[in-house]
Amino acid sequence: MNVIDLIEREQERSNIPGFRPGDTVKVYSRVVEGGKERVQMFEGVVTVRKGGSSGESITVRRVAHGVGVEKSFLLHSPRIERIEVARRGIVRRSRLYYLSEKIGKGARIKEKKAVR
């Protein structure tokens, strides 16, 4: 076993829920403003999930005031407090780059119904 692999394995988080591209998630991340630190929530659709092990990242997209905003997060970063899955989406792609060109109703993703 490589020394770098051991260090990466120690830093991986275990509390990451299972989600895929197309799911709507809430990412709570710590933000430093001035001398204070607070938790900021960013809710949107996961468009990309790439990388592996400790270098895995996601890109979350949402529309705020008519402007599309995309943010990338490292999943195993200490800056991320928690991730919650708000909705499960039905998509057939692993990269949802086509969402950036769509607006309004065209950018909607079908929701997967929960089985009881």
Alpha-carbon span 60 to 71, nearest angstrom = 5
Give the model's pLDDT for residue 103. 81
From the number of C-beta atoms within 10 Å of its C-beta (0-12, 13-18, 19+), residue 68 rates as middle
Give the model's pLDDT for residue 114. 74
In the chain, where are the structural domains located? 3-103
Q: What is the pTM of this model?
A: 0.86
What kind of fold does domain 3-103 have according to CATH? SH3 type barrels. (2.30.30)
Angle at 77 between CA 73 and CA 82, to 5 degrees: 75
What tokens does 18 get?
């299972």
**Among 96, 116, 112, residue whose Cα is nearest residue 44:** 96
Give the model's pLDDT for residue 5. 83
Half-sphere exposure of 115 (CA within 13 A, CB side): 0
Q: Which residues in the chain come in under a pLDDT of 70?
A: 116
